[in-house]
Amino acid sequence: MCYNIIMQKLIKFKSGLKLAYIFNPAVRSVALGVFVGAGVIRESASLAGISHFIEHMVFKGTSHRTGFDIVNEIDSLGAQINAYTAKSYTCFHTVSLDENVEKCADILADLYFDPTFDPVELEKERRVIVEEINESEDTPDDVCLERLLTAFFKGSPLDKPILGTKKTLAAMTDETLHAYHRQFYIPENTVISIAGNISESAAIKLVDRYFESRMSASDGVMDDLPAAKLNSVLTRKKKHIEQAHLAFAFPCYGYADERMVSAQLMSAIFGMEMSSRLFQSVREKLGLCYTVLGYPSTYRNNGAYIIYTATNPSSVRQATEAIRAEIDLLLRDGVSDSELQKGKQQLKTSLVLGQESTTSMMRSFGAHCIQTGELYDLEGRMRAIDAATKEDVLNAARDVFDFDSAAASIVAEDDSEDILKILKNR
């Protein structure tokens, strides 16, 4: 069966800049994204949070536009503009009518090349991000999961929070941001992703005019990152809240590992959907929680499989034991034919429906290219899903659920329960 319903192409420019182009003539919109390989993986301990800080600050003014000008011009087009920072990259993006994409490109290029990092605006935005950190610290599931990954990846670039810390933010100046921007906002470390109703020639012309023609020569080479050493530790946090929040991390494949298809199938069957084993056991059968899920979190050369739930403090041990029992059952018996087919349908449907959104396609192709340097092979991924077997899924489960390497996090008023020891049956 052919799933390739749109044109996809990777264009490489002389400077090292790349364009991930996805043509869809069935829509009237164009999503445009600028992906920069700048996230926590590129930050030193003292610069934790700088990628996210820059993501905020580019919207505060450039050499040609004030902060108000940026959003007013976008709103005048009826378009949308936003940005986000991930562990591995930062993305700035717009979505607009196809007739307005050139204006959006002009604005995004301005943000990319000419942010002023005005010291007065920097002080105000520093306070904004501190409040963002405070908000996260008031959200117990955020605290639980952030502490889990920090502990699991401690000693590697992935151990830092995307938002940084109040201490690291306090030390950053406009010069700090300019220096980091000069180091990483370079052509070899940038991908433009365009999806929607725009011809290939028009997309190339757009990128050449607003980005490639303005790129400066650089000697920047983005070194690859070694696989992180994982830590089997328990982190505890006392918090005066009603529930106990529990999370576990297991080793998982890196983003581009071909075995990720099997791991994603395992995740769909085991922990992602309402019919998944974790949901049906821990919530539906035992009534121990409202939320329970398992999912992979993958990065370049590194990955974690996360299981999270929140339960009554009196049920912490029972919930942990129930999670362990479901893992044991999966490792002992594998998955059934019907579960495998259901998982395949879930993954394929998600991929196909994503093609109907220009923003979704821009994000998925851009994120893939900035992390691998390659074009996302959507049809190849479909074939890999179709070809996966029950044995592949079982092998992925065996690779992931390495209890000797597992880490755990608990956030609760009473955090004394050793959930890692319970999980390991020790």
Residues recognised as catalytic: 55
8 Å CB contact between 209 and 384: no
For 267-282, give one letter per residue: b (16+ CB within 10 A) or e: bbbbbbbeebbbbebb
Enumerate residues 6+ apart whose C-beta is below 8 A from 408.
Answer: 148, 233, 234, 235, 246, 247, 248, 249, 419, 420, 423
Burial of 130 (0-12, 13-18, 19+ CB in 10 A): middle
Both tokens of residue 250? 């297991």
Q: Which of 382, 402, 421 is nearest to 331 (CA)?
A: 402
Residue 54, both tokens = 């820059």
Sign of the dihedral defined by the CA atoms of residues 56, 57, 59, 60, in that order: positive
| Residue 259, burial from CB neighbour count under 10 angstroms (0-12, 13-18, 19+) | middle
CB 92 within 8 Å of CB 58: yes
Taking 3-state DSSP, the helix, strand and coil percentages for the chain, each rounded to the nearest 5, stand at: 50, 20, 30
CA 272-276-279 angle, to 5 degrees, is 90
Distance between CA atoms of residues 203 and 201, nearest Å: 5
The H or E element that residue 195 is part of is strand 190-196
Question: Do the Cβ atoms of 400 and 263 come closer than 8 Å?
Answer: yes
- C-alpha distances in angstroms, 182 versus 54, 106, 223? 12, 20, 16
Contact 392, 262 (CB under 8 A): yes
Measured distance CA(222)–CA(226) in Å, rounded: 13
Rg of the chain over Cα atoms, rounded to whole angstroms, equals 23
